[in-house]
Amino acid sequence: MLALLVSVFALVTPVAGPPPTSDAELQKRFEQLSSPDAKARLDAARFIAAQPAEATPILATRLGRPRNTTTDTYRRLFLEMWAQVPNWKGSDPMWIRKPEPAWTAPPRVKGQPRAKRPPGHDPEALDWLEALNTLDLDSPALQVIVPDPPAPGPVPKKKKTAVVEEPAPAPLPPVTKEQLVQARAEAMEVVALMRAIGASKRLDAVDPIFKEAFEADGVFRDECGRQIRSMESFAVPALIRLMHQKGAAALHLGKQRRYASYQLDRMDRARPSKAISAAPDDRVRSAIIHAYGEERALEAVEAVLGQVDSPSHRVRKEARWTWLRYVTGRPPPPAPKRKRKLTGGREEEEEKPDYLTYREMALLALQHQLQAINNDPPSPKATAKELTDELFAYYDKQHAAEWDEQFARALGKEQAGDWKGAADEYGWILAHDPNYARRGEMAKAYARYADELRKQQQVSQALGFYRQAVDLDPKGAEASYAGARVALLDGLEALGRGRAEPNLFRQALALDPSLTDAREGLSRAEALKGRRRWLELGEAVGLIFALLFGLWFLWKRTAPPTPQKPLAS
């Protein structure tokens, strides 16, 4: 009833403003990017660039919105601030830059060294936000159309033909100051959005930035690559998928594949072994291995095989999943064959494949690994899946022997009453092998260590160990003991917050009737629930009176006034 009363008053309560990372707030900051004040523009851009990682979906949506500025206007801005833009007519040269100004050496002074030419502008060291913010929009160079670079390919020979005068193309209208202001604001917003998305270090942050690299003839591509590379290993899984993407648009996807491969090479993550080993943690390392497995990347066969026995359970699980993708399922298409040319212009008598498929590579790697382990070559008739099962069984047997030795040490601590030491040893085993065969025998140490924590008033930690004891052996003898105390502590926590949960105490008594704390808690919970019934009844009566008073008040205000009776003459 109280919640209903609160909801009634909430209908007339003013709604709070949008959070700082909403699209409305971003639009407000975008409008400040058109301010004539350079400090206000830079502050707005830095606010957008400093958004937290939780705002990435909103920022990505904002980045993908269409813009009004033409590609030519963007090129004028970027070239004028000494940035570089990709060659939109070909790949030679790859980047287009503004020519360096002519330099004339000053007269040489006798006895002094010759003056050196000042260093040129370095697009790689350019801060796009600072450069855009300080760009002079009144510069005459911004009114000059950027000429097309020469078309790729050989220059065609001139043919003697009749000269036909073609009409000159209509000149483009000049760019107005308002258009330049809008272009700078949009460019600063794009750069700030990409910096915020890249700084999030999320595994899904590459896609919106990568997509922007191919919009508007790729004028933002240089800054896009810089932000992708700033993510380091967090960008690798997405780049692996982009590098191996397939589709009908071969030319367009070919450029994207080359660009993704180029970014991996710039980050020194092109080699799979380096990409995996350089990951900062097991989560990113597993994501990289998973990406190789999704694409069945040929170049990653040996690197993935090196991780199927990783000490990390998470990495080992992903590596084995990826490896099974290589050796099972539908076979890959065969490699094309051709006859090799020999010296003297002769050809080989039989055709040979151009390369090995990923399954053939996996089979060779397995044979080499098992031969090193057994000192004997495996059966040439065994399939890749059979050799994989043999290798996994060998590794698992090794781990089981190692865990059994550590389990024996933990059991000795348990028998000596060192419950904390035993729980630590068991925890190490479970961290590396959660499905260890003797995990059910660990439940007693976890439950008894939880008892010690409870005596030390560390209730939240004790509750965690009780829950883990139940999870380790759900049907064992310790499950009832630990489960009863989980229900008891949950019920006591509810009482501490003013809530009555008698069913939790009943559950605790059903599992362990000897729990006196549960009987006391049940009495307190039932008494609190009785008081809550009277309180809820009072709230309901109060709400009814409040509603009746509100209706009477509205009736009094909307009812027509009663006509006055005429005075008696």
CATH number of the domain within which 512 lies: 1.25.40.10
Residue 511 scores a pLDDT above 80: yes
Residue 13 pLDDT: 36
Q: Is 169 a member of any domain?
A: no
Percentage of residues of the chain with pLDDT beyond 70: 85
Q: Is 568 a member of any domain?
A: no
Residue 4 pLDDT: 38
Q: Is 417 a member of any domain?
A: no
User: With contact defined as beta carbons under 8 Å apart, do 298 and 244 qualify?
Assistant: no
Residue 5 pLDDT: 37
Task: Compute CA distances 298 → 243, 271, 379, whole Å.
Answer: 12, 12, 24
Residue 6 scores a pLDDT above 80: no
Q: Who contacts 366 (Cβ-Cβ below 8 Å, separation ≥6)? A: 305, 327, 378, 384, 387, 388, 391
Q: Which residue has the higher pLDDT, 176 or 13?
A: 176
Identify the band that residue 563 occupies on the pLDDT scale cut at 50, 70 and 90.
low
User: Of the candidates 196, 215, 230, which is a domain's last residue?
Assistant: 230
Residue 159 scores a pLDDT above 70: no
Report helix angle 384-415 to 313-327, nearest 10.
160
Element (H, E) at 88: none
User: Of the candidates 165, 195, 230, which is a domain's last residue?
Assistant: 230
From the CB of residue 202, how many other CB atoms can be counted at a distance below 10 Å? Answer: 18
Residue 10 scores a pLDDT above 50: no
Q: Who contacts 244 (Cβ-Cβ below 8 Å, separation ≥6)? A: 257, 295, 297
Among the ranges given (369-383, 413-427, 435-449, 491-505), the one the predictor scored with the smallest mean pLDDT = 491-505
**Residue of 447, 391, 460 whose CA lies nearest to 419:** 447
Calpha distance 54→491 (Å, rounded): 34
φ/ψ of residue 84, rounded to 5: -130, 150
Residue 20 scores a pLDDT above 60: no
Calpha distance 63→207 (Å, rounded): 11
Residue 562 scores a pLDDT above 90: no
Q: Is 294 a member of any domain?
A: no
Q: Is 66 a member of any domain?
A: yes
Task: Compute CA distances 401 → 317, 406, 437, whole Å.
Answer: 19, 9, 12
Identify the band that residue 131 occupies on the pLDDT scale cut at 50, 70 and 90.
very high
Pair of tokens at residue 517: 């704390």
For the chain, the farthest-separated pair of C-alpha atoms sits apart, in whole angstroms, at 141
User: With contact defined as beta carbons under 8 Å apart, do 243 and 264 qualify?
Assistant: yes
Q: Is 75 a member of any domain?
A: yes
Q: Who contacts 7 (Cβ-Cβ below 8 Å, separation ≥6)? A: none
φ/ψ of residue 155, rounded to 5: -75, 125
Mean pLDDT for the stretch of residues 129-149: 91
User: With contact defined as beta carbons under 8 Å apart, do 221 and 191 qualify?
Assistant: no
Residue 463 pLDDT: 87
Identify the band that residue 171 occupies on the pLDDT scale cut at 50, 70 and 90.
low
Report cis status (omega within 30 of 0) of the bond before 560. no
Q: Please give the mean pLDDT across all residues of the chain.
A: 84
Report helix angle 443-455 to 459-472, nearest 10.
170
Mean pLDDT for the stretch of residues 159-166: 55
Residue 536 scores a pLDDT above 70: no
**Residue of 275, 273, 272 whose CA lies nearest to 235:** 275
> Which residue reads 């080359």 in tokens?
258
Q: Is 508 a member of any domain?
A: yes
**Residue of 126, 30, 7 whose CA lies nearest to 78:** 126
Mean pLDDT for the stretch of residues 326-347: 86
Q: Is 159 helix (H, G, I), strand (E, B) or coil?
A: coil
Total domain count, the chain:
2
From the CB of residue 375, how many other CB atoms can be counted at a distance below 10 Å? Answer: 7
What is the β-pairing status of strands 95-97 and 84-86?
Answer: antiparallel
**Residue of 324, 265, 264, 252 whose CA lies nearest to 288:** 264
Residue 136 scores a pLDDT above 60: yes
Q: Tell me the residue length of the chain.
A: 569
Mean pLDDT for the stretch of residues 497-510: 78
Alpha carbon 161 to its chain centroid, in Å, reads 60
Torsion angle (degrees, nearest 10) of CA 527, 533, 535, 536: 150
Give the domain extent around 475. 438-529
User: Of the candidates 188, 213, 230, which is a domain's last residue?
Assistant: 230
Pair of tokens at residue 31: 């409008």
Residue 540 pLDDT: 60
What is the β-pairing status of strands 337-338 and 95-97?
Answer: unpaired
Task: Compute CA distances 399 → 63, 312, 318, 404, whole Å.
Answer: 49, 12, 17, 8
DSSP one-letter code for 247: -
φ/ψ of residue 398, rounded to 5: -60, -45
Residue 393 scores a pLDDT above 50: yes
User: With contact defined as beta carbons under 8 Å apart, do 338 and 354 qualify?
Assistant: yes
Residue 290 scores a pLDDT above 70: yes
Residue 339 pLDDT: 83
Q: Is 538 a member of any domain?
A: no
Residue 45 pLDDT: 96
Residue 153 pLDDT: 59
Model's pTM, two decimal places?
A: 0.76
| 204-216 per-position pLDDT tens digit | 999 999 999 999 9
